[in-house]
Amino acid sequence: MKVFIDGREGTTGLQIQQRLERRDDVSLIVLPEDLRKDPEARRAALNEADIVFLCLPDEAARESVSMIANDHTRVIDASTAHRTDPDWVYGFPELRRGQRDAIAAANRVTNPGCHATGFLAIAAPLVDVRVIPEDMTLHCFSLSGYSGAGKRAIAQYEAAEKSGDLYSPRLYGMNQRHKHIPEMMAHSGVRARPVFSPVIDDYFCGMATTVTFSNRALKGHPYAEDLRDILATHYLGSRFVRVAPFDASVSFLPANTYAGTNDLEISVFGDQDLTQITARFDNLGKGASGAAIQNMNIMLGLPEDWELR
């Protein structure tokens, strides 16, 4: 299979390239440095490839899709451009029944955003079984390492001298217009815009995305352990997503536990009144390049964990 990464210089593109370079079942199309932004060179590569990964700003991703003039090139877009487009298949295989089959048959797959992956892993199964009412306003707090902010932010965080605020957690997206919110709503089934509080901190990678509930607002007033059982049933048999046993003795939950993997673990805490559910994963793995490779494997009819750690 011939694979072209359009935008391989960014963090996600480089991660995808590094993962694919370990494989002997794909051939990478790599443009020379002086041609990587040349429209005709890109057009030729896009149309030669069997699989294209788009790791570009939204407008550039749309432009790349418009350059494809054949029926065989299949696209996995890691940008935000197509995440709520009904003509594209959402690339979260574990999200709900039938999602893997839709990805396998698709020519156009949009890779989930990192924060959205954690939010949806928690909320979508509970909305599907109507435990979470569709009109309920959800509250989500999502902590990420600085690698998710791109090459410029990485350079700032890793500089020999950096400003004092970079040593502490930093909240952002306070205007409640974060680019992941439309995606979070579209694929969870909730109609109310969630209150979303993303945070970036001074460590390289790993995420901890948390959704909290007052159990009285949920249908049937379930206990925290009941919610854990619903999620465990939903993800039963999943290769990469698992639900931890209910353990009230846990005191700390590190956000970088699954750095370097494509795993996502959901942990549920609380009692009969209040519940906290946290999804932990690698923002560069299941939140970006790992998910993209998983989707490619599914599209090619390979085991979804083929050459994917």
Same-domain status, 106 and 153: no
- Cβ burial of 226 (10 Å; 0-12, 13-18, 19+) is middle
Q: Is residue 205 in a domain?
A: yes
DSSP single-letter state for residue 113? P
What is the rounded CA–CA span in Å between residue 259 and residue 145? 10
Question: So what's the pLDDT on residue 162?
Answer: 93
Lowest mean pLDDT segment, chosen from 31-35, 65-69, 101-105, 231-235: 31-35
CB 50 within 8 A of CB 3: yes
pLDDT in tens, 221-272: 999 999 999 999 999 999 999 999 999 899 999 999 999 999 999 999 999 9
Percent of the chain with pLDDT over 90: 94
String of b and e for 123-151 (b: at least 16 CB within 10 Å)?
bbbbbbeebbeeebebebbbbbbbbbbee
Condensed to tens digits (0 to 9), the pLDDT of residues 72-105 reads: 999 999 999 999 999 999 999 999 999 999 999 9
In this structure, what CATH number is given to the domain that contains residue 98? 3.40.50.720
Average pLDDT rounded to a whole number, residues 39-67? 97
Helix (H, G, I), strand (E, B) or coil at 55: coil
Grade residue 151 by pLDDT with cuts at 50, 70 and 90.
confident
Helix, strand and coil percent figures for the chain, each rounded to 5? 35, 20, 45
Is 265 within 8 Å of 242 (Cβ atoms)? yes
Q: Residue 149 — pLDDT band, cuts 50, 70, 90?
A: confident
pTM of the model: 0.96
Q: Is 202 part of a structural domain of the chain? A: yes
Q: Are residues 155 and 270 in the same domain?
A: yes
Q: How confident is the model at residue 45, as a pLDDT?
A: 98
pLDDT higher than 90, residue 213: yes
Task: For residue 157, give its domain range.
Answer: 114-283
295 and 275 within one domain:
no
In a shared domain, residues 103 and 136: no
The helix or strand, by DSSP H or E, that contains position 77, with its residue range, turns out to be strand 74-77
Spatial contact of 88 and 76, defined as CB atoms under 8 Å apart: no
116-120, 171-175, 195-199, 260-264: the lowest-pLDDT one: 171-175
Q: Do 74 and 50 form a contact (C-beta atoms < 8 A)? A: yes
Active-site residues: which are they? 114
Q: Which two tokens stand for residue 64?
A: 């790349």
Q: How many CB atoms are closer than 10 A to CB 155?
A: 10
Evaluate whether 16 touches 53 at the Cβ level (below 8 Å): yes
If you count them, how many residues does the chain have?
309
Residue 134 has pLDDT above 80, yes or no: yes
- Considering the domain architecture, whether residues 134 and 168 belong to the same structural domain is answered as yes
Beta strand segments in 107-238, E: 108-110, 139-145, 170-171, 195-201, 207-214
Whether residue 56 sits in one domain with residue 135:
no
pLDDT at 201 over 90: yes
Cβ-proximal residues to 308 (8 Å cutoff; 6+ apart), any chain: 19, 262, 290, 293, 294, 297
Q: Specify whether the CB–CB gap between 243 and 225 falls below 8 A.
A: no
Looking at residue 55, its pLDDT comes to: 97
Residue 309 lies in a domain: no
The reply to whether 136 and 43 lie within a common domain is: no
In DSSP terms, which residues pair with 110 in a beta bridge? 77, 90
Say whether pLDDT at 123 is over 90.
yes
- What is the rounded CA–CA span in Å between residue 119 and residue 127? 12
Average confidence (pLDDT) over 270-290: 97
Cβ atoms of 149 and 204 within 8 Å: the answer is: no
Q: Are 72 and 23 in contact (CB under 8 A)?
A: no
